[in-house]
Amino acid sequence: MKKRGIIAAIAIVAVIGLVLGGCMLPGVDPVDPIIPVVPTPNPIAAIFDYYCVESPIQTDSWVYFDGTDSSSPDGEIVWCRWEFDDETVVEGAWVMMVSSWENGLEVWNKESDKREVRHRYADVDVYTVTLTVWDGVGNSDSMTRTVRVREVP
Using CB atoms within 10 A of its CB, is residue 108 exposed (0-12), middle (13-18) or buried (19+)?
A: middle
- Dihedral, 109, 95, 63, 70 alpha carbons, nearest 10: 180
Q: For the segment 86-136, what is each residue's pLDDT rounded down to a tens digit?
A: 889 988 877 655 555 555 665 545 555 678 888 999 999 999 999 999 988
Query: What are the extents of the domains in the chain?
Result: 49-149
Beta strands (DSSP E) in 70-152 are 77-84, 89-93, 97-102, 105-109, 116-120, 125-135, 140-149
Looking from the CA of 19 toward its CB, the CA atoms found within 13 Å total 6
Q: Give the pLDDT of residue 138.
A: 85
Of the chain, the percentage scoring pLDDT greater than 70 comes to 60
Q: Which residues touch 120 (CB under 8 Å, ≥6 apart)?
A: 60, 61, 62, 63
CATH class for domain 49-149? mainly beta
